[in-house]
Structure 1
Amino acid sequence: MMRQRKADRVLPGFNLSLGFTVLYLSLIVLIPLAALVIKSLDLSPSEWWDTVTNPRVVASYKLSLLTSFYAALANLVFGLLLAWVLVRYRFPGKRIIDGLIDLPFALPTAVAGIALTTIYAPKGWIGSLLEPLGIKVAYTPLGITLALIFIGLPFVVRTVQPVLQDMESDMEEAAVLLGAYRLRTFRKVILPELLPPLLTGFALAFARGIGEYGSVVFISGNMPMKTEIAPLLIITKLEQYQYSQAAAVAVGLLLISFVLLLGINLLQRWSNRRLRVVSKEA
């Protein structure tokens, strides 16, 4: 029996696979992050703390985190809606719309930033219509959020879409036949199944938004203490040859992002356990 199992294996053994995995992660992730931390340690502890708590740096942290959170939250709602429409309905041009969802993946981020700025600038196609109403998009946190929504939408759609495709409609039809309203059916039957992929898509969109640079740098206006994001501040310090301070700002942003993503992953694990308990009781 053991020989048969070994003969059926196509991939290399565990030791070889684990070795390649650790080597790959070390070269691509661990070693660069370690070098970043080591470079930031060129500063003394007081200098490091003064750098990451500088009002300009704190303002950039706050702007990056809040706009990324709001963009991921918007993508959570509209990404679910798009995935639902693409899976549950048939209509002309469905394949075209489905293909356009992946456009932010293929489009260079700088091109996306220039396009959004052109459209939402005060003299742009949409910006000129919004300006008389007192709504300013470009060169404001709203414009940054809009750019992050653009680049983060595919993460939510592509994580929710396969789950919706695998979900059978029998339970939904049974709930409706038993007298449940549509909202109650969605909340009690559909949403628990979609919660794990929704959290995954939210985490991916949020993480992408925190480190986004190309699509944001044009539409933000780059005004210190107002529309200056953390990645832009890191680039600014690098251009000024302040490598240790740039590394310190990057490490601070990395730590904040790690804590937030860890919380999201713990919430996702809790939702998975709760879903398993509910399915077993059912």
Structure 2
Amino acid sequence: MLAISVAVSHQRFHRSLLQGLALTYISFIVLLPLGVIFLEATKSSWTELWQVITAPPAVAAYKLCFSAALLAASINSVFGVILAWILVRYEFPGKRLADGLVDLPFAMPAVVAGIALLSLYGSGGVIGQYLDPGTFLGESLRLLGIEQVNLTSSVIGVVFAKVFVTLPFVVRTVQPVLMGIEPEIEEAAHILGANSWQTFWRVIFPQILPATITGFTLAFARAIGEYGVVLIISGNIPYETMITSVYIYRRLEQYDYSGATAVAIVLLMISMVILICTNLLQLWSRRYEA
């Protein structure tokens, strides 16, 4: 009995030690920096903070940041499901390569990604050169009243950047769910008279919907916080193509630490709301699967 009691005590000690180390690590990595942000904000009055948060350039940056993030997450939700379906259900040459390329936005440095997109879609780029004035497409668009098409220093460039960095989220959340769906379920639906579309919408889609929503929220959160790729490709024009993260950096360049902190707190609070929604969606997904 004494040996058992000592063993239990050792287990409790090791568990408490590991829990303490984990909490300490999280505190230094996450909680302490967040606390410093709020501490920095207290150096200014609420009136000053509110004026910074609701300044016209900041409001314009919010609108562009959230609308572009919403559009990018929606695009990747649709094409992410399609891509996940292809990778799970079909065999084709280069499938492993295609599956690995999905994770490339995670590994690629933001500067490299920004330069790649700029070289592709920018004026004189591989694709952008065909839209320059004087080209066939450029002249055709001019006849339609569109004088110049710029795929980089525009809202389109911001959306392109956010779509690129959020590509893996929906694919990687939906893919395991599709792999877990047994083919016999689809065969039973076909035997009962359902066509391919009816089988997908009534049998497959309800099962992947929780994962799709989770991937959407993760992609949306990632798109809101994107900085590096957008900084290079968007042109960072105030009131037009400047997103919130770039606006914060510009405030820091002007040594306005309180103003930058105030706007950063807005993004932080929205990120916390998205995190709570994601956890609730995951809980709902587990209950749905059960």
Corresponding residue SS for 1:222: coil
Say what the alpha-carbon RMSD is for the aligned residues: 2.3
Q: Does 1:153 align with 2:167?
A: yes
Cα displacement (A) at 1:17: 3.4
Shift of 1:220: 0.7
Separation in 2, partners of 1:63, 1:262: 23
Distance in structure 2 (CA, Å) of the matches to 1:121 and 1:53: 33
Query: Percent same amino acid at aligned positions?
Result: 49
1:143 aligned residue = 157
Cα shift readout 1:102-161 (whole Å, capped 9, x = no counterpart) = 111111111111111121112212112245134431111111111111111012212221
The answer to whether the 8 A contact 2:221-2:274 is kept is no
Stretches of structure 2 lacking an aligned partner (at least 5 in a row): 133-137
> Residues 176-187 of structure 1: matches in 2 within 5 Å?
176-187=190-201
Distance 1:17 1:195, change over 3 A: farther
1:240 corresponding residue in structure 2: 254
Q: Within 5 A, what are the aligned runs for 1:1-282?
A: 14-131=15-132, 132=138, 133=141, 134=146, 135-270=149-284, 272-274=286-288, 276=290
Stretches of structure 1 lacking an aligned partner (at least 5 in a row): 277-282
In the alignment, the residues of structure 2 paired with residue 233 and residue 193 of structure 1 have an alpha-carbon distance, to the nearest angstrom, of 40
Q: Distance in 2 between matches of 1:96 and 1:271?
A: 30
SS of the aligned residue for 2:237 comes to coil
Which amino acid in 2 is paired with 1:21?
A
Superposition deviation, residue 228 in structure 1? 0.5
* 1:174-220 per-position Cα deviation (integer Å, ceiling 9, x unaligned): 01110112222112211122122212211221111111111111111
Distance (Å, rounded) in 2 between the aligned partners of 1:170 and 1:191: 16
What secondary structure sits across from 2:60 in the alignment? Answer: helix
* Letter in structure 1 aligned against 2:233: I
Q: How far off is 1:21 after superposition?
A: 2.5
Secondary structure at 2:151's aligned position in 1? coil
Q: Shift of residue 271 of structure 1?
A: 5.1
CA contact (8 A) 2:217 2:274 kept: no
CA distance in 2: counterparts of 1:109 and 1:173, whole angstroms: 44
Superposed displacement of residue 274, structure 1? 4.6
Q: Give the TM-score taking structure 2 as reference length.
A: 0.86
The alpha carbon displacement at 1:82 in A equals: 0.9
Find the structure with the greater CA-based Rg.
Answer: 2
Q: Give the partner amino acid of 1:202.
A: F
- Write the letter of the residue equivalent to 2:255: Y
What corresponds to 1:280 in structure 2? Answer: none
Change (3 A) 1:175 1:12: farther
The offset of 1:30, in angstroms, is 1.1
- Structure 1 distance, partners of 2:25, 2:221, is 21
CA contact (8 A) 2:211 2:285 kept: no
Structure 1 residue 56: Cα displacement: 0.5
**Residue-pair matches, total:** 271
Determine the C-alpha separation between the residues in 1 that align with 2:13 and 2:114. 44
Partner AA of 1:254 in structure 2 = L
Deviation at residue 14 of structure 1 after TM alignment:
4.1
Supply the AA of the counterpart residue of 1:78: F
CA apart distance, 1:50: 0.5
Q: Which string of whole-angstrom CA distances, capped at 9 and with x for unpartnered residues, describes residues 17-73 of structure 1?
A: 332232222111111111111111111010011010101011111111111111111
